Amino acid sequence: MASQSVATVILAAGKGTRMRSDVHKVLHPIAGKPMVGHLMDATAELEPTFEIMVVGAGRDQLQAAFPKLSLVTQDPQLGTGHAVGFARDALQGFSGAVLILYGDTPFVPAATMRAMVDALADADIVVLGFTPQDPGRYGRLILGEDGALTRIVEFKDATDAERAVTLCNSGVMAVRGDKLFQDLDQITNENAAREYYLTDLVSIVRARGGRAAVVHAEENDVLGVNSREELAKAEAIFQMRRRGEAMAQGVTLISPETVFFSHDTRLGRDVTIEPNVVFGPGVTVEDYAQIRAFSHLEGAHVGRSAIVGPYARLRPGTVLGERVKVGNFVETKKAKVADGAKINHLSYVGDASVGPRANIGAGTITCNYDGFFKYETVIGADAFIGSNTALIAPVRVGEGAIVGAGSAISKDVVDGALAITRSAQTAKPGWAARFREIMRARKEKKSA
């Protein structure tokens, strides 16, 4: 089937009680993106005609997160077969492939989904199976001699021989849209839980002479996230994969297991990343740059051959040009730092523009906030800012200008000028010795 004849139905009506959270389960982030967002990235590659999410509690949260997504509410909640039925109106007249997915199963690859859709050319229903290291209490997929799926058996109902089968049910399915709702209407709730199970579709399809098939997936591709522990496992899976991709694309990770990427981190060739670096959303690092140990980057662009860290923090809006150096214990925010500029030590540069080759001395602060509004600091090309300087915005330091150490600059400095605002130094000979003598006597008197 062509990609334009695909519809996706994502089931996300579960209460997620094991997460113990006020946040909807499928909105908990993996690598900075809601887990269901990872799934939707994959479905987007199929260019579905319809995208439907079946929700229960927390609809407002999901609608706010995905305002363009079609949501339908399952109320009451009587099982997975019952949930899919709520997509009936949205899919009225649709005869293409319907992928039934789960919002808490975020890693199903687009290629696997395509394989399921393609398998519908010779089948009426396709189930995604996997072979876990520990089959445990998963439902088993029982295949016939021809390789077709004959039935799905829940663990509690399986015989010893069936429990010995290692091919398990992920819950993900692909079905024909023109038959889906007719088949759903045949599902009953004659079971201990009094629920309508989607897995019953296999026997219903076969009873009318249809064929059921299986597509195989890797275990990590069908990981379900129902608890904080499983969320951490999903994060670990994402990070492991992303680290491998980065190194395959020409990035050096000195200690891969200590580096954490966001879902959208972009890295150039011959980038070097030292241990214990964390990337938040929205970071691009260009070729030959170095991100040194214990740095945190978010919403930042790092230019070619730039050096960041160690112990640096780049906050959103930071744009570093080529060969820029941002050193230890430096924080930047909404700062444009031009080619060759240096901010090497213990400084905060926010709401600022730093010109090419400018040098920002240790302990320099751009005082950008007066408690009500933010203001900009502009530092010209080749300017030199001495250590322990406060630049009180809005202020401009001109090209080639020098600011003496320890200054508080609140007025513009013209090009090529020297600006110094520190108080005059005075000396009182003998004062320190007399002070110590007085204080020692006072201390002895107090101890007596």
Half-sphere exposure of 399 (CA within 13 A, CB side): 4
Respond yes or no: is residue 82 known to be catalytic.
no
C-beta separation of 273 from 283 below 8 A? no
The residues with which 7 forms a beta bridge, in sequence order, are 50, 98
d(CA 204, CA 255) in angstroms, rounded, equals: 52
Question: Is 28 strand, coil or helix?
Answer: coil
**What residue has token string 């201990």?**
192
Annotated catalytic residue, options 38, 82, 296, 345:
345
Question: Is 374 strand, coil or helix?
Answer: strand
Of 97, 142, 100, whose CA–CA distance to 123 is shortest? 97
Please calculate the CA angle 102-83-65 and round it to the nearest 5 degrees.
55
Which amino acid would we find at residue 120? L
d(CA 263, CA 406) in angstroms, rounded, equals: 42
C-beta separation of 167 from 131 below 8 A? yes
Per DSSP, the residues of 153-216 read E-GGG--HHHHT---EEEEEEEEEHHHHHHHHTT----STT----GGGHHHHHHHTT--EEEEE
Locate 58 and state its tokens. 């927390």
The residues with which 253 forms a beta bridge, in sequence order, are 273
Helix 35-44 and helix 110-119, axial crossing angle in degrees, nearest 10 = 50
Question: What phi and psi values does residue 409 have, to the nearest 5 degrees?
Answer: -100, 115
Please count the other Cβ atoms lying within 10 Å of the Cβ belonging to residue 60. 11
d(CA 328, CA 142) in angstroms, rounded, equals: 60
User: Known catalytic residues?
Assistant: 345
